[in-house]
């Protein structure tokens, strides 16, 4: 039974000023009671049954889910400036590796590219990884020192089950998936709408997948999904699950009440955990400041960075308490961009000081509040780095800013590497190598997993990536897994 009380307020969100100082909460608007006696959630009074949406705040157009954004700062001319303390070699080194690649794109509709054109399995050494039993008392350093380079690299990938399971629309875990796991015990899987048909089917598929890992002596996998609420909700948008959609997070942000964001985290983690998921690609920490933005919109909590920060921290903490790993996204912020990185190049014109004053505020708060996992977006910041390299491949953004400036010590996951911002310029192997050398720990959904895996393996063997760099990421991944799922 899931019970959630959502209080929706009208809000006057006024950009990058601390909310409550300029503008802020106007008045209480209405109460939405959600009662889940039979896994069904009753709609609010005046809300059409089955819509699964939180009623909009007063003054907001019903159904639009949008609150007019405010400008965080003047974006300036958008001309590229040299990066603070940035070595020019990053731009030159990254751009020299540009390669063209075409692919179907991952999108928020849950459509997944067909991996049938992936690198053939016979291009990979036909050698199974020898498992070693895993226990909660395992010593991470011992594991790193006693396991093969191949198994350590496999930990650094989260893929769709189809990527190693040999099916274009996998909805059950079968022998082919187990064979793929035995050969490539990847760090985890991400599931989309076409994989998820009903509670019984989903629980059975996920439990069987986990059993393949434990029965073969491998580290348990991350079992992840995009479940934000609103338009991005693989479970709640499927009536077969009988779970009401939380609605867009902008409505939650409009309440100005961190308890509502905490309820959202508790609610989402409760039904995800019950199905067998242990990781959610949420909450969204983007600050929605550009009215032309098409990719974030009402997925964000709002346009005030301090309000967004408090909402993100509250949802993150509640989700973690519910036994699900929250992945705060999309560093360094997708709310001010105009382009959609699913389809091509997306950038922010902000300088580092401007990012620190606005888009990075929620990420900084999340890090200070014990955030353990952040997703890096395919967003370039030419006025910060001096290049058009996306953050996922930029050592300045991931290491100098996120690790050193913000002090993040957890796991960095890339956004899906089958998105146009990456595939239009890089092949799977090149993108994975650049991302790991930039500071990423987990490569999410490369177009061609086998090419990416083998590319990283060859890069280590040739000295392009050091094995200690691999060990650093595996250490962080295993720490996270030991805290949550081992």
Domain locations in the chain as residue ranges: 70-115+154-484
Q: What is the pLDDT of residues 57-95, one digit of tens each?
A: 333 333 333 334 444 543 333 333 333 334 333 433 343
Q: Which of 29, 342, 364, 441 is catalytic?
A: 342
What is the number of residues in the chain? 486
State mean pLDDT over 381-406.
96
Q: What are phi and psi of 262, to 5 degrees?
A: -65, -40
Q: What is the pLDDT of residues 323-374, one digit of tens each?
A: 999 999 999 998 767 655 555 568 899 999 999 999 999 999 999 999 999 9
- CA 123 distance to own-chain centroid: 30
Q: Which of 304, 340, 415, 427 is catalytic?
A: 415
3-state secondary structure of 269: helix
Quick check: 148 pLDDT over 80?
Answer: yes
Give the Cα separation of 150 and 310 in Å (integer).
40
Strand ranges across the sheet with 411-414: 328-331, 373-376, 411-414
Give pLDDT, residue 292: 76
**Cα–Cα separations (whole angstroms), residue 38 to 2, 3, 242, 251, 268:** 9, 11, 8, 25, 16
Which residue, 338, 258, 267, 333, is CA-closest to 300? 333
Pick from 73-87, 190-204, 459-473: least confident: 73-87
Give the Cα separation of 62 and 475 in Å (integer).
47
What's the distance, Cα to Cα, between the start and end of the chain in Å?
Answer: 27
Which residue, 445, 473, 477, 479, is CA-closest to 460? 473
What DSSP element (H or E) covers 357? helix 352-357
Quick check: 461 pLDDT over 70?
Answer: yes
Q: Is 342 an active-site residue?
A: yes
Calculate what percentage of the chain has a pLDDT beyond 70: 70
3-state secondary structure of 147: coil
What DSSP element (H or E) covers 438? helix 428-438
Give pLDDT, residue 77: 34
Pick from 54-68, 233-247, 424-438: least confident: 54-68
Report whether 295 contacts 340 (CB < 8 A).
Answer: yes
Give pLDDT, residue 16: 55
Give the Cα separation of 379 and 373 in Å (integer).
18
Which of 3 and 290 is assigned the larger pLDDT?
290
3-state secondary structure of 177: helix
**Cα–Cα separations (whole angstroms), residue 480 to 150, 230, 316, 486:** 20, 28, 15, 9
Which of 333 and 130 is assigned the larger pLDDT?
333
Which of 356 and 55 is assigned the larger pLDDT?
356
Report whether 387 contacts 91 (CB < 8 A).
Answer: yes
Report whether 291 contacts 72 (CB < 8 A).
Answer: no
Beta bridge partners of 229: 232
Calculate what percentage of the chain has a pLDDT beyond 90: 65
Buried b (16+ CB within 10 A) or exposed e, 424-442: bbbbbbbbbbbbbbbbbbb
Mean per-residue pLDDT of the chain: 79
Buried b (16+ CB within 10 A) or exposed e, 120-157: eeeebeeeebebeebeeebebeebbeebeebbbbbbbb
Report whether 302 contacts 380 (CB < 8 A).
Answer: no
Which residue, 365, 341, 189, is CA-closest to 279? 189
Per CATH, which fold does 70-115+154-484 belong to?
A: TIM Barrel (3.20.20)
Confidence of residue 15 (pLDDT cuts 50, 70, 90): low
Quick check: 103 pLDDT over 80?
Answer: no
Give pLDDT, residue 2: 41
Q: What is the pLDDT of residues 260-313, one digit of tens each?
A: 999 999 999 999 999 999 999 999 999 998 887 777 889 999 999 999 999 999
State mean pLDDT over 419-442.
96
State mean pLDDT over 373-387.
95
**Number of other CB atoms surrounding residue 98 within 10 Å:** 12
Pick from 133-142, 200-209, 251-260, 389-398: least confident: 133-142
Q: Is 334 an active-site residue?
A: no
Which of 111 and 356 is assigned the larger pLDDT?
356
What DSSP element (H or E) covers 202? helix 199-215
Which residue, 412, 418, 451, 466, is CA-closest to 435? 412
Q: What is the β-pairing status of strands 188-191 and 157-159?
A: parallel
Q: Which residues contact 114 (CB under 8 A, 6 or more apart)?
A: 104, 168
Give the number of C-alpha atoms closer than 13 A to the C-alpha of residue 95, restricted to the C-beta side. 11
Pick from 35-44, 70-79, 89-98, 210-219: least confident: 35-44
3-state secondary structure of 328: strand
């Amino acid at each position: 039974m899931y019970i959630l009380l959502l209080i929706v307020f009208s809000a006057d969100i006024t950009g990058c000023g601390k909310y409550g100082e300029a503008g802020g909460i106007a008045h209480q608007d209405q109460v939405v009671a959600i009662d889940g006696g039979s896994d069904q959630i009753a709609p609010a009074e005046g809300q059409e049954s089955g819509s699964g949406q939180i009623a909009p705040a007063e003054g907001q157009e019903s159904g639009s889910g949008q609150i007019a954004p405010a400008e965080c700062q003047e974006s300036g001319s958008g001309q590229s400036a040299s990066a603070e303390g940035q070595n020019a070699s990053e731009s030159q080194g990254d751009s020299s590796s540009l390669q063209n690649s075409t692919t179907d794109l991952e999108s928020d509709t849950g459509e997944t590219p067909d991996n049938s054109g992936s690198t053939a399995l016979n291009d990979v050494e036909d050698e199974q990884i020898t498992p070693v039993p895993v226990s909660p008392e395992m010593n991470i350093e011992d594991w790193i020192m006693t396991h093969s380079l191949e198994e350590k690299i496999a930990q650094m990938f989260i893929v769709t089950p189809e990527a190693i399971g040999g099916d274009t629309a996998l909805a059950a875990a079968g022998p082919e998936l187990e064979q793929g796991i035995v050969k490539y015990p990847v760090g985890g899987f991400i599931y989309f709408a076409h994989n998820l048909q009903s509670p019984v089917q989903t629980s059975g598929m996920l439990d069987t997948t986990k059993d393949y890992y434990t029965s073969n002596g491998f580290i348990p996998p991350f079992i992840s999904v995009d479940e934000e609420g609103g338009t991005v909700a693989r479970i709640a948008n499927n009536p077969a699950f009988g779970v009401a959609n939380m609605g867009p997070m902008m409505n939650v942000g409009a309440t100005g009440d961190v308890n509502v964001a905490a309820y959202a985290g508790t609610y989402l983690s409760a039904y995800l955990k019950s199905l067998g998921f242990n990781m959610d690609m949420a909450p969204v920490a983007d600050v929605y400041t550009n009215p032309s933005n098409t990719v974030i919109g009402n997925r964000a909590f709002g346009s005030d960075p301090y309000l967004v920060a408090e909402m993100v921290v509250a949802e993150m903490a509640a989700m973690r308490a519910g036994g699900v790993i929250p992945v705060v996204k999309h560093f360094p912020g997708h709310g001010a961009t105009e382009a959609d990185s699913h389809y091509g190049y997306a950038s922010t014109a902000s300088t580092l000081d401007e990012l620190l004053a606005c888009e990075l505020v929620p990420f900084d708060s999340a890090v200070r509040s014990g955030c353990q996992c952040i997703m890096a977006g395919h967003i370039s910041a030419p006025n910060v780095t001096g290049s058009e390299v996306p953050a996922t491949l930029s050592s300045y953004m991931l290491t100098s800013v996120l690790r050193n400036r913000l002090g993040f010590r957890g796991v960095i996951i890339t956004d899906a590497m089958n998105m146009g911002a990456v595939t239009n310029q890089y092949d799977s192997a090149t993108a994975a190598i650049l991302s790991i050398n930039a500071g990423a720990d987990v490569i999410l959904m490369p177009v061609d997993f086998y090419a990416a895996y083998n590319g990283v393996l060859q890069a280590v063997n040739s000295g392009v990536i050091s094995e200690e760099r691999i060990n650093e990421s595996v250490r962080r991944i295993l720490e996270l897994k030991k805290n949550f799922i081992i």
